[in-house]
Structure 1
Amino acid sequence: MTMLSGDESGVEGPGLGIDPAQAGAAEEGAEEDPAERGAAGERPADAAMVVFLTEPVRRRAVEIAAMAMPGLAPGRVPARLRRFLKFSPVKRAKLARGDLAAALDSDAAFREGLAEILGATESPLVRSVNGHVAGEAVSPMADPVEVAALAYLLRPEGWRELLAVALEAVVEPPEAPAEAPAEAGAKRIGALEKENAKLRSALADQRTAAATLQEEVRRARRDLKDAEERASKTAGDLASERGRLKHVEAERRAERRRLESEVESLRAGLERARKADRDNERLASSRLWLLMETLSGTATGLRRELGLEPVEERPADYVAEQYCAEPEERPFEGSRGLEQTDPQRLDHLLALPNPHLIVDGYNVTISAWGETLTLEQQRNRLVQGLGAVAAQTNAEITVVFDGADAVFGAKPFARGVRVLFSAKGQIADDVVVELAEAEPEGRPVVVVSSDQEVAMRSRREGAYPVPSPLLVRWLQR
């Protein structure tokens, strides 16, 4: 048996159920009932006596006090125990066991407050412990440890007798018999030898592992050294490459500056050349204008000196009077045309100043539309096409048809186009050549005919022979 003090603790047991609400009500009732406080004050003689408890009883008393302590008002809890109020009962019993045991032994007011909290519970064991003197006996099946702890905490009348009876029923665990020193030493030596063997084996394993780690460290150091050497070599190569790139960049920039300088020089030269060309062009234009003005003035002076008056008739009109007549018969089909050439040639010829376009009529129409149109339709189509040419250019246009056969239908007409028919005994080829011969030397004359003889004779007269298909293609554009 021991006195109620020390540092032991336990867990909550099943024999005591404490409701915090009931505990609070009991606390309030305790504060309002002075009779009970007076009755509690009549126990100083009991409290002064030393009570010895067995270890299980003491531990259970601390556990019950830890469970009931939150039901007290904070002012009735000893100051050193208040910080444990927020803990759970198990944790409170474990951490505050020493202080709680000392408070139960020395603080009667604290113990009486716990007794009031416990007395307010509905536990049958608590009621039987509190009322065992009044005739309510404690059940013999109750745990003597629980009964002894409650008797110590509640302290009803005659609690010492109840505590003594309960303590006698508490059976403490027997102590193990002591072994002989020699046997204990032998066992201890055997255990130490086994432990030593284990430690030696572990040491050997650790040494093996350490050797392996040392080898790995040496290998890692070699690898690190190789890596550092490679990194150093790479850094050197990188520095060399950077130097080379800087040199190349400097050369590139110098070359770029040189090229930019050359470009600027070429641009300046080009601008000077353009300016010189513009100046030369203006000078040439000025000279040409002065020359043309001089020639124009000279021509005007000659015309005035020679007394030349404007004439209404052209050389072709004289040829028409001599070699042409109104048609009385059908013309016969002329020769087929030659190979066609580029129509732009005719554009260039008609672009010459004051040209005269002479067309061998049937030579053109028969080669182009001889199989699809009548002679009258052919003449009309050709003359209308030449009328469009006259409207687009400043050329004098003459078309000559053969008059050997009778002509049916009206004579074709188009503004700006002279339409002629050869007289009886004359052919259009001769009229075309005579028209070319009648023009003054230097005037552009274009003869359209696929007849080789007409082309050759016209060329001798200074005219430009053009094949008939070229005119047809030119009209069809």
Structure 2
Amino acid sequence: MSEVEHRHLRSALEFAVLIATEGQKRRPPLNFPKELKPFLSKQRISTGALGRVRRIIESDGVFRSAISAGALPELVDDVGRLWLAGESGWEQRAGSLLDAEAADNESRDLQRDLKRSEKRRVAAEQAAARIQAEVLVRDQSIATHLTELDELRADVMKATEALSEVRTELIDTRNELRHARDREAAAVRRADAAPSDAGIAEARPEAATPNATHDALVAAEASRAAAAAQTRLEEALDASRLFTGELERLLTGADDDLPGRSTAPSSTSRRSERTPIPLPGGVISTSAQAAEHLVRSDAAILVDGYNVAKLGWPGRSLEEQRDALLNRTENLARRHGADVTIVFDGDSVVGAHANRHRTVRVVFSPAGVTADDVIRDEVERLPFDRSIVVVTNDRAIVDDVRRAGANVVPSNAFIATL
């Protein structure tokens, strides 16, 4: 059985002092122990003075009985009313009430701890399910890339064989052209020798005429063959150039899809191609107006979680700061349809807010990785044609993300929009 301590009688003791305070204002005044006068002007009896007030009231049985009649349950708890009544065995009954109250409190504490444990278990299971889903998606993506890689390799083999055939045809065409040119040169030489044989042709016209005609026909044929060969050679060269360009494109595409090789543009290209969102005229980039304008845009918003939370709610615990930021950012995202990702340091609480925040994406950095590094990776990962807004006061990442073409909003300006 619990012992009835002074603190258990606080409601009855303060009630007695209140009655004495009001009673002295009556005419005639209520009789009360004079030793209570130092306590009449106090709003609340200090813990150290409870024992003294108790002894004063217990020493005056008449006053104690008088106030016992007016001790309503709304003003005095059960233990206090038992003490004021002072009936025989009141301490045992009061001790039983205190034991029952302690048991109820312990039961409520156990139930609260059980609910917290259950929430943590559900969060852990959800986090595990998300990770498993991501693994399956990654495996499917790898399988798809491997299939595409096999198809590209087959295309490269076919292209290589086609290129070999083109080279062979090109060699044959060049040989044919060379032979045609040799025949043309021989025909020209015979044509040059024809005037020296003119006298002989006049003496023997019947013999000269057929030879001259034959030479002219040979020369014309050689010229046509040379022209045709030249045309085929030019066509073959054009086809070879086109095929070589297509082959280089296929080979480049195959290299880009190799596992482990990123298909995203290089960081230099991304930084040069992404353009920050322009602000309206007269709006300062570090102001709340600029933050409001950028939040309303269709940009991906990356928030340095603890950098903002600690600035916005410095007097709260770390968990309360995190909850405050998530609740307000959730409302902001719903109002404007914003795409917001909040990045926190630490991996020990992954998934802790998955049930309560469905619009805002929450990311916790893995062990050994800072939130700054996660934000840098997010900026590099997103396509260069997607506008990005980074919310932070951390100079360690401000310069990096600005070079990558992102807008930067100070934490205090972002808090003003929440």
Larger radius of gyration: 1
Structure showing the higher helix proportion among its residues: 2
Bigger relative contact order (CA 8 A; separation at least 6)? 2
TM-score (norm 1): 0.27
TM-score (norm 2): 0.30
